[in-house]
Amino acid sequence: MTTHDIPHRVKPPSALSFVLMISTLALLYTAFVETGFSVQTLIEGVPRIGRLAEQMFPPNLSRLEMQAELLWETFLMAVSGTALGIALSLPMAILSARNLSPHPLVRWVMRNLISFFRTVPDLIWALVFVITVGLGPVAGVLTIAVDTIGFLGKFFAESMEEQDKGSQEAIRTIGGSTLDVTFTSVIPNAIPSFINDSLFALEKATRSSVILGLVGAGGIGIELKVAMDMFNYSTAATIILMIFLLVVIVEQVSNFLRKKIMS
């Protein structure tokens, strides 16, 4: 082996990198210790999982028709909430995009508003809307809409910022306004990305809409909570399987449409 074939030795980390590694390891150790996580606890819980599975099967199908109606309501919540969120995300994304926002202050306000929507958990929004509009699917639709804005507002803005600048400059050169640039260049070029992100948002909303029922925001979640609280695990198993089937169908349809768009 010649000298130039000898691999370089791994460089020792800098003082700052070493401190960061030690700090990260200390944080991980503290996290596991403070949360009480242990392999022994996990091993002791395995038999309990087995007993729970025995109580869940066979699933109870006696309330299948009513549960199917609630599952359909859950899906409609996801669809309508996502649609409302998309409609509101687009103008907010335009105002928060660097190349389209009319003023830096407007961009700053919109970006932070979108971040706020994304930061607050779904269940908190659900509680807010249950208090505001009452129990039922309307609160769920509004919750999903706000969550969708937090999710899509960021991606829509980034997608519009990444579009080709050449066509935008050409439109501005012939006297086009920012509005002209937005609707004749940026948005048409970004539509495939918008559709792709929106399909992901619908998948996310379908899963999230199940949880919202736990706080009275409509859908099948409350039925699942009641079944678990009453130790009616066979009924809970039926609901879980129905939710799983719905999520799989939505994901498969979404993947099919995504491939059609990208092809």
Directed axis angle between helix 64-96 and helix 221-229, to 10°?
A: 130
The answer to whether position 224 is within a domain reads yes
Q: Tell me the residue type at 172.
A: R
The answer to whether position 30 is within a domain reads no
Q: Tell me the residue type at 227.
A: A
The pLDDT of residue 222 is 85
The pLDDT of residue 6 is 55
Give the number of residues written for the chain: 263
Query: What pTM, to 2 d.p., does this model score?
Result: 0.81
Asked if residues 150 and 118 have their Cβ atoms less than 8 Å apart, the reply is yes
Q: Which two tokens stand for residue 168?
A: 């935008």
**CA distances for 250 relative to 106, 108, 189, 191, 241, angstroms:** 36, 35, 26, 21, 14
d(CA 152, CA 85): 8
d(CA 158, CA 196): 14
3-state helix, strand, coil in the chain (%, to 5): 80, 0, 20
Domain that holds residue 232: 64-262
Quickly tell me which residue has 């669809």 as its tokens. 79
The answer to whether position 56 is within a domain reads no
Q: Residue 124: CA atoms inside 13 Å, Cβ hemisphere, count?
A: 7
The answer to whether position 162 is within a domain reads yes
Residue of 143, 146, 148, 147 lying closest to 130 (CA atoms): 143
The pLDDT of residue 190 is 85
CATH code: domain of residue 149? 1.10.3720.10
d(CA 223, CA 135): 14
> Which SS3 state, helix, strand or coil, does residue 41 take?
helix
Residue of 138, 159, 35 lying closest to 81 (CA atoms): 138
Return per-residue pLDDT of the chain as tens, 263 residues. Answer: 455 555 566 677 787 888 899 999 999 999 988 888 878 878 877 888 888 888 888 888 888 888 899 899 999 999 999 999 999 999 999 999 888 888 889 999 999 999 999 899 988 999 999 999 888 889 999 999 999 999 999 999 988 888 877 777 787 788 777 787 788 888 888 888 898 889 989 988 988 888 888 887 778 888 888 888 888 888 889 999 999 999 899 889 888 888 877 76
**How many domains in the chain?**
1
The pLDDT of residue 59 is 84
CA 81 to chain CA centroid, nearest Å: 13
Q: Any idea of the CA torsion for 255, 258, 260, 263, to the nearest 10 degrees?
A: -120
The answer to whether position 244 is within a domain reads yes
DSSP H or E stretch at residue 200 = helix 187-212
The answer to whether position 204 is within a domain reads yes
The answer to whether position 81 is within a domain reads yes
d(CA 84, CA 187): 18
d(CA 63, CA 149): 35
The answer to whether position 229 is within a domain reads yes
* Residue 5 DSSP label: G
Residue of 78, 186, 93, 73 lying closest to 142 (CA atoms): 78
